[in-house]
Each structure stands twice: as structure tokens, then as C-alpha cells.
A and B are shown apart, each in its own frame.
Chain A
């Protein structure tokens, strides 16, 4: 009788500890997921700001670059694609498909922008335009902010992914709907050059 009581008690205690553990892991993962989602919204704000700036930039450049319609058109198209990808990513931050879509759209946009700025070098009037200078400055600053908040987002995602793959958590995480989150990489060697055109 007493042996049974002890056995049942011990079993219950173990069960109980397990339940407490599971609750703790679940809540921890929820908090981490919220954190990276919030971190993404920081990138999102800056990206939107950048998407708003680009049409203005193109508008100013249009007046001077009559013969570069294609370059300008490319920038606008890349911007529109990136904008759409950005909206999709914001609806579901961390989702691998939409994150890699955003990252490739951003890479294309960076390429198109740097081409535009390179071409603009040949138009001294455009380079001296105060509007253009202000826009470029704003664009540079926004891209710095994007880079910084992207770093923050990637840190948060890494932290979440590590917590998710640690031992007891890895057993529950998949069942409870905690999917692996995707880093946002913008691998573009020109990325850093693009905003830093001298004027």
C-alpha cells in the first residue's frame, strides 16, 4: 500500500514537473517569437520609408536623364516588386518563402538603384540639384537604419531558432506550431556602395 502510494506520488511528481517544464518552454518560445516579429516591424518601417523615397528620387532624376528611361523604369519596377514582397513578408515575418523573396527583391532593387546612381554621375546638373542631394542623404540614412534593424531582427531570429532547437524544446516545438524562422540576408556586394555615392 505504502509502496504504491510512493510510486504513484513519484510518478505524479515527475509528470507534474514535465508539465511545468512544457508550459515554461511554450511561454518562452511565444515571447521569443513575438520579439522577432516586433524586430521585423522595425525593418518594415524603414523599408517602407525607402520605398516612398525612391519614386521621388526617380521623379527628380527624370527631368535630367531623358535618355535613361530604361534605367529609371528598372528602378521603379524593382521598387514595386520589393514593395509587394515587403508587404507579404510583413504579414508573416520569419516565413522562409516570403523572407527569401524579400531578400532577392531587395537585392535587385539595390542593384537597380546603384546603376541609377552610377549613371547619374554623368549628369553634373543632376548631381548639383539640392533635391537630389537631400534625397540621397535621406536614402543613405534610411539604408543605414535598415541595416541596423536587420541586424536586430537577425539576432532575434537566431535567438529564437536556438531556443527552438535546444533539447527539451525541440520535442514540442514542431507540434506546437513553432516553425523555424528565416534570417533576412541581403547579400549584395554593391549594397554598401550604392548609398555612398559621392556628390
Chain B
């Protein structure tokens, strides 16, 4: 299943789930309505002897059982409570993954941490992010949790965070850790997080009904209310009625919660199997994730999480936070043993053997960890299986392969990413892991080659960010300019993660400086333009200046202008010769699902790209399926002449990432064309 299909599936499943939840809420309304009628009947029965019989005499059952004003009132109140509760929770969680991590008392790992275990975790996350083409998510460690567990939280790819228990760092080998992180990345890429945020929201809303009932009962039986109540008959019966209402609300709310949890748990368990399967696909190493799961079975602390707030995030975890061994209806995760057996069919369910094996292996692992850091050792093993492409290298590229790779990194991509990391010069590698100098790298990327413009830009940096920043940016600029094209996007991905550590005010000045700098340079290259659009867009969401967007464009009507503008840019960048460009233009347009004739190809790339920014923002709000079609057309626009340079391939990646569709490194995808001939685990 590819990226777009699984995003689409997640959307559809969310809709089914919403309908089921809607039914649960309807049932709840009906229940509360009947409850109130019952209480009123009881009340009336107390006051008028034999009232039920009288009522029957007067109007029959219809009179008692159908009271539209009460039904309306109940629907309004219950609907309001549930939806307010849901919206409140969704708004809270929508604020981004970092709020969830903060709620769980996570400590943010700095990209330049020197602790061995933390370093390893950061490297694994970076490799996985580069391999899938997403920005490096902030990583949080839950220091007080000894169990093996991890979670991914956030509303979209752009505000995702990964949280890891301390126990995971210390008890798993590098390969196993990689399996766990790949599992979490699969949640991020499959769009599971948005779905689960909505599920938690609705759950919260239903829970509120029970909570209100609980408050009612508490306030009725409290000592304060008793002393103040008068003991005449009418007040007493009122008290009984209200008390019954409270008890009834608890019961009904609990029943509603029961069904809602059931729905949530079953959806969640399906997504877990999917994430396990994807993790094997990303790393092509079933041992890794199977080992991590077995370790959970083997150690005493298992996957338990102690933080009291953790339940809201239970389904985002790697393994069940209560007890992974027992299968039950509400488990957010499938039981451990079947999960292991799906990735490792030979496993017989006996952890005993594994406990001993682990003790030995862990000892060895510790010795190895001390001598050499994991990633270097890995690199040595890889040898020169992948060459870093040079700027001028040209190769044919099948657009279909390009699209198939989106959001679906393979193990080769992961290996290749480690290689890319090794190709980043030391000065840059150190700089992009530290907020102060990472900013300088981002600004240095924008410095123009023309002296006149550059001087103007330098003055802008000095004014906005101070002399120290300017000095650092200028000293970094030669190294930044010399970065090979294949490395620039990965550098940006690490940079994005680091820059999310700025304070709000620092970001505000940074954003202003970047904007004024690109405005000063009228001849920004298209690639740089995409990079900075992507960077600012990402950071805007991180800093809450831009809410995650909902899809609003279901088909191409109304978007033709934007698509044409972008395609024209790509066609011109991919084809020097005008005749060839015309053909590529026609071919790309033909692949779009529109009946309109292709507009004439604009003669050349416009000097000013500022309107392109708005086009990108609009295109980013298309549905996954529509994005796939737009990206297919873009891939054709670039690859039509069968001659793709690395720069062009990176241009495509930058464009795709501007639309929130993460693309694995393309040169690795080139190897995929050879790979597809051999039997592949992909389905």
C-alpha cells in the first residue's frame, strides 16, 4: 500500500469511526431522554397517587413516552456537552505533539546531546527521517519510565514528536531501537495520529456525561448539601429525582464509554499490526522489531508506563502500557505473542530462553557500544554500496517509481541516509545540531552569489539578528555553498528539527529576517525557494502560527491556475530546449484529471516567485488522491527527457515536501528500479 492510499484509507476509516461514534452519542441521547422521562414519571407518581394509570387513561403511552420538548432539550444538552468536551480535548491535542510530550513530563533531547544512549537514539531518528524525507521530529525522553515503550504524537507530519521511555534506550540494541522508531514513523506517515486525536476527543466528550453524573451524586451525598436542605416532602422527592438523574448519567455515560472504547481499541489494534508490518518494510529487518517485542515480554517492567496522564496517549504507544500479555476488549494493542508471531513466525511464545540470551547479548552489546558507536560500525558494513551522486550526474528515472516511494522508505533508503549523514562536512554537521548556528546555516543558504545583493542581505542579518550571527553565517557560507545537491535537503531536515528549539520571539525575528532576505534577492533559484518555503511553513506550524490544514480541494477545478504555474516552473527547470519543454508540458498536463485544454506554456521562469508561495499553500490543501495526481504530473514534467540531474531530482523532492508528501532520497529510489526486479517484501 502506498503513502496516498494509506492516507486515504486513514481518512475513510476515520469517517466510519465518526459514524460509529455518532451512533453511540445518539444512543446516549436516547438513554438520557428515557431516564428523565422515568424520573419525571416517578416524581409525578409520588405527588399524584396512581398517576401512571391516570396518565394512561388520559392520553395513553404516547403521551408519556413522547415529549418533544424534553427530547429536544436532552439532545441539545447532551450534544452540547459531548461536542464541547470533544472540541476542547481536540483543540488541546491539536496544539501539536510537543504539548502531549510536555504533559507526559518528557525531556526534550537536544540535537547535540553527548550521552551515548541519547546520541544513538537521535542518530536512529535522524536516519529514519532522512530516509522518509520528513523533517527530523523533536525527540523526548521520559526519564522516569523504566518500561520499554515509545510513542509518536502530533496532528500532522509537521508537528510530530517522538517520545521514548528511558528503559527503551538502555535495554534495546541499536537494531531493536531502529525497529521501534520505524514503527513510530509508520504511525506518523500513515496519518494515524490525526485519527487518534479525534478518537480521544470524542471519548473525552462521552466521558464528560458520566463525569457530570458523578458530580451530581457527589454533591447530593456531600455533608454540606444535607444540612442546607429542607426536609419537606417536595424537596425530598426532588432530591431523589436529581440523585437518580446523577446515577443514571453515570450508568449511561459508562455504557457509552464502553462502546466508544471498544471502537477505539479495535481501530487502534489494526493500526498497530500495520505499523509493525511497515517497520519491517522500512528496515527490512524483522529481527529488530521482533527483538524489541520479545524484550518487552522478557523483562519484568515490560512496557508499562507510570505517568498518570498517559492514558490519553495509550494508543500512540509502541506497546500496551498496562500489560501486553493479556488480550482484552479494550487493549489498544494486539497481545504481544501474536504480534511477535506475525513478524517472526518461528516464535513459540516462550520468553524464558530469550531472557537468558538477552543477558548475554546485552553484555556484549555494552562492550561494543563502548568501543564504537553503532552508526559508524554500520557504515563500515555498508561499504560503498551507494555512491553519493555528483551534481552533473544524469540518469533516466521512471516517474511511477518516484511516486511509489513517497512516504514509504525502504531499508535501502535507511542505509543510504546513514551514508548521506557521513557526507555532511564536520563544520555543518555540528552547526545544524545547535540552535544558534543552525540559524546561521539557514541564513547562509539564502546569501546571494552576487556581491551587491549579498551586502544588502548581510546588512539585513546584522540588523535583525546581531553581529555575532552575521559573523557566524558569513564564516559558514563557503561550506554551505559547497554542499552537494543531494545533501542539501537532508541538511535542511535536520536543521528544521533543531530550529524548532527557538523561543517564540527568536522565531519571530528569524522569520522576518528570512523574509526580508529572500525579498532582497530577486533571483532566488527555484530549489532554494522551495527549501525556504518548506522551512518557514514547517516552523510556522511548529510555533503555532499556522494551524494544520484540512483538505478542502477534492478535485482540480479552481486549482488549474496554481497547478499550471508550478508545472511551468518544473518544466523549465527540467528542460533547456524549448521544443522538448513544450512536449513535456503537454504530457504533464495530459496526465491531470481535467478536461480543460492545456494553457500555453509561459516563455520562461518568472523572476519573482512570491506568488508561487500562495500557490503551494493552496495545493497543500488538496486531498491525498489529488496530490498524487499533481505530483505525478510534476514527476512527468521533470523526467520527460529521460535525463534527470540530481538537482532536478532534489527539486522534485523539495516540491513534494512543500505539499507535505515526504519523498525518500531519490538516488536511493533509482536503485529501487533495480530492486523491483528481485522479489520484494512490498505488497
- Are the C-beta atoms of B110 and A27 separated by less than 8 Å? no
B435–A34 touching, CB < 8 Å:
no
Q: Is B102 a contact of A31 with CB atoms below 8 Å?
A: yes
18 CB contacts below 8 A, A to B, read A1-B43, A1-B241, A5-B238, A5-B242, A12-B219, A27-B92, A34-B102, A37-B107, A39-B501, A42-B501, A45-B110, A141-B472, A144-B472, A145-B434, A145-B435, A152-B435, A152-B501, A156-B503
Instruction: Let me know if A174 is at the binding interface, CB within 8 A.
Output: no
A145 touches B436 (CB 8 A): yes
Indicate whether A123 reaches chain B with its CB closer than 8 angstroms: no
Contact B102 A8, beta carbon cutoff 8 Å: no
The CA-CA distance from A147 to B435 in the complex, in Å, is: 11
B472 to chain A, nearest CB (A): 7
Which of chain A's residues have a CB closer than 8 A to the CB of B237? Answer: 1
**Chain B residue at smallest Cβ distance from A146:** B436
Q: Mark A1-42, 1 if CB is under 8 A from B, else 0.
A: 100110010011001100010001001001100110111011
The A-B contact count (CB < 8 A) is: 91
User: Per-residue 0/1 for B329-341: is the Cβ within 8 Å of any A Cβ (1 yes, 0 no)?
Assistant: 0000000000000
Chain A residues lying within 8 Å of B219, measured Cβ to Cβ, are: 8, 11-12, 15
- Judged by a CB distance under 8 angstroms, whether B355 is at the interface is no
Residues of A near B106 (CB, < 8 A) are 34
Query: Considering the complex, which residues of chain B in the window 218-263 have a beta carbon less than 8 Å from any beta carbon of chain A?
Result: 219, 234-235, 237-238, 241-242
Kindly provide the distance from the CB of A189 to the nearest chain B CB, expressed in whole angstroms. Answer: 17
Name the residue on A nearest B502 (C-beta): A152
Enumerate A138-190 residues with CB–CB distance to B below 8 Å: 141, 144-145, 147-149, 151-153, 155-156, 159
Residue interface bits B485-527, CB-to-A below 8 A is 1, else 0: 0000000000000000111111000000000000000000000
Q: In the complex, A110 Cα to B78 Cα: how many Å?
A: 63
B88 contacts the other chain (CB 8 A): yes
Q: Which residues of A contact B99 (CB under 8 A)?
A: 27, 31
Q: Given A41-B107, A148-B436, A149-B436, are A15 and B503 also a contact pair (CB < 8 Å)?
A: no
A12-B216, A27-B92, A27-B103 known; A155 and B468 CB under 8 Å? Answer: no
Interface flag for B35 (CB, 8 Å) = no
CA distance A155 to B506 in the complex (A): 8
Extra inter-chain contacts (9) besides given A5-B238, A42-B110, CB under 8 Å: A12-B212, A16-B211, A34-B105, A39-B501, A39-B503, A45-B113, A144-B472, A152-B502, A153-B503
B88 near A20 with CB under 8 A, answer yes
A39 to B108, CA, bound (A): 9
Q: How many residues of B contact A (CB 8 A)?
A: 39
Contact A1-B216, Cβ < 8 Å, known A20-B88, A42-B110: no
| Closest 10 A/B residue pairs (Cβ) | A155-B503, A34-B102, A31-B102, A148-B436, A152-B503, A145-B436, A144-B468, A38-B108, A4-B238, A155-B505
Q: Determine the chain A residues whose CB is within 8 A of the CB of B103 once the complex forms.
A: 27, 30-31
| CB–CB A149/B102 < 8 A | no
Residues of chain A contacted by B505 (CB below 8 angstroms): 151, 155
- Encoded as 1 (CB less than 8 Å from any B CB) or 0, chain A from 37 to 53 comes to 11101100100000000
B112, CB-defined interface residue at 8 Å: yes
Which residues from chain B contact A12 at a C-beta distance below 8 Å? 212, 215-216, 219
Scoring B residues 361 to 397 as 1 if CB is less than 8 Å from chain A, else 0, what string do you get? 0000000000000000000000000000000000000
| CB closest residue in chain B, given A37 | B107
| CB atoms of B112 and A45 under 8 A apart | yes
Q: Which residues of A contact B88 (CB under 8 A)?
A: 20, 24
Nearest opposing residue in chain A for B506, CB measure: A152
**CB-CB < 8 A to B212: which residues of A?**
12, 16
Contact present for A41 and B108 (CB under 8 Å): yes
Evaluate contact between B436 and A16: CB separation under 8 angstroms: no
Measured in the bound complex, the distance between the Cα atoms of B209 and A12 in whole Å is 12
Nearest residue, chain B, Cβ from A45: B110
Which residues on the B side are within 8 Å of A4 (C-beta)? Answer: 235, 238, 242
A42 touches B435 (CB 8 A): yes
For A152, list chain B residues within 8 Å (CB): 435, 501-503, 506
Whether A148 lies near B215 (C-beta < 8 A) is no
Contact indicator A8/B242 (Cβ below 8 Å): yes
The CA of A16 and the CA of B238, in the complex, are separated in Å by 21
Please, which residues of chain A bring their CB within 8 A of the CB of B503? 39, 151-153, 155-156, 159
Residues of A contacting B435 in the complex (Cβ-Cβ under 8 angstroms):
42, 145, 148-149, 152
Instruction: For the complex, give the distance between the alpha carbons of A34 and B142 in Å.
Output: 12
CA distance A19 to B363 in the complex (A): 51
Select from chain A the residue with minimum beta-carbon distance to B503.
Answer: A155
Q: Which residues of A contact B105 (CB under 8 A)?
A: 30, 34
Counting CB contacts under 8 A, is B646 at the interface?
no
CB distance from A119 to the nearest CB of B (A): 24
Q: Which residues of B contact A141 (CB under 8 A)?
A: 437, 472
Q: How far is the CA of A24 from the CA of B89 in the complex (A)?
A: 10
List the A side residues contacting B469 at CB < 8 Å.
144
State how many angstroms separate the Cβ of B73 from the closest Cβ of chain A: 11
A77 to chain B, nearest CB (A): 26
B651 to chain A, nearest CB (A): 32
Smallest beta-carbon distance B12→chain A, Å: 32
Which residues of B sit under 8 angstroms from A24, Cβ to Cβ?
A: 88, 92
CA distance A15 to B215 in the complex (A): 9
Whole-angstrom distance between the alpha carbons of A38 and B502 in the complex?
Answer: 11
**Chain B residues whose C-beta falls within 8 Å of the C-beta of A144 in the assembled complex:** 436, 468-469, 472
Q: How many angstroms from the CA of A8 to the CA of B212 in the assembled complex?
A: 12
The interface bits of chain B over 459-474 (1 if a CB of A lies within 8 angstroms of the residue's CB, else 0) are 0000000001100100
Q: Would you give the shortest CB distance from A176 to chain B, in whole angstroms? A: 14
Instruction: For residue A40, give the distance in angstroms from its CB to the closest CB of chain B.
Output: 11
Given contacts A1-B43, A4-B238, contact A151 B506 (CB under 8 A): yes
Given known A-B contacts A12-B219, A16-B215, A155 and B241 have beta carbons under 8 A apart: no
Q: How far is the CB of B272 from chain A (nearest CB, A)?
A: 27
Q: How far is the CB of B35 from chain A (nearest CB, A)?
A: 13
In the assembled complex, how far is the CB of residue B631 from the closest CB belonging to chain A, in whole angstroms? 36
Residues of A within 8 A of B215 (CB): 12, 15-16
Q: Which residues of B contact A41 (CB under 8 A)?
A: 107-108, 110
Q: Closest CB of chain A to B390's CB: distance in Å? A: 32
Task: Please indicate the chain B residues that have their CB under 8 angstroms from the CB of A11 in the complex.
Answer: 219
- B179-222 contacts to A, CB under 8 A, are 208, 211-212, 215-216, 219
Is the CB–CB distance between B437 and A145 below 8 Å? yes
A35 CA to B105 CA, complexed, in Å? 10
Closest-CB distance, B506 to chain A (whole angstroms): 6
**Shortest Cβ distance from residue A107 to the other chain B in the assembled complex, whole angstroms:** 19
A41 (CB) vs chain B CBs: closest residue = B110
Instruction: Tell me, in angstroms, the Cα distance from A38 to B143 when the chains sit together.
Output: 13
Q: Give min CB distance, B95 to chain A, whole Å.
A: 8
B93 to chain A, nearest CB (A): 10
- Which A residues lie within 8 Å of B108 (CB)? 38, 41
User: Closest residue to A27 on the B side, CB-wise?
Assistant: B103
Contacts of A153 in B (CB 8 A): 503
- Which chain B residues border A30 with CB–CB below 8 Å? 102-103, 105
Write the nearest CB–CB distance from B57 to chain A, whole angstroms.
23
- Using CB atoms, name the residue of chain A closest to B95: A31
Query: In the complex, what's the smallest C-beta–C-beta distance from B40 to chain A, in angstroms?
Result: 9
Residues of B within 8 A of A16 (CB): 208, 211-212, 215
Contact residue among B102, B110, B234 (Cβ-Cβ distance under 8 Å from A1): B234
Name the distance in Å between A195's Cβ and chain B's nearest Cβ.
9
Give the distance in Å from the alpha carbon of A144 to the alpha carbon of B105 in the complex.
29
B383 vs chain A, min Cβ distance (A): 34
Could you tell me the distance between the alpha carbons of A152 and B264 in the complex, rounded to whole angstroms? Answer: 40
Q: Return A197 CB to nearest CB of chain B, in Å.
A: 15
The CA-CA distance from A37 to B110 in the complex, in Å, is: 12
- Chain A contacts for B112, CB-based, 8 A: 45
User: In whole angstroms, what is the CA distance A154 to B437 when docked?
Assistant: 19
B84 to A, closest residue via Cβ: A20
Task: Tell me which of A5, A38, A45, A155 contacts B107 (CB under 8 A).
Answer: A38
A141 to B504, CA, bound (A): 23
In angstroms, how far is the closest chain B Cβ from the Cβ of A129?
21
Report the minimum CB–CB distance from A3 to chain B (whole Å). Answer: 9
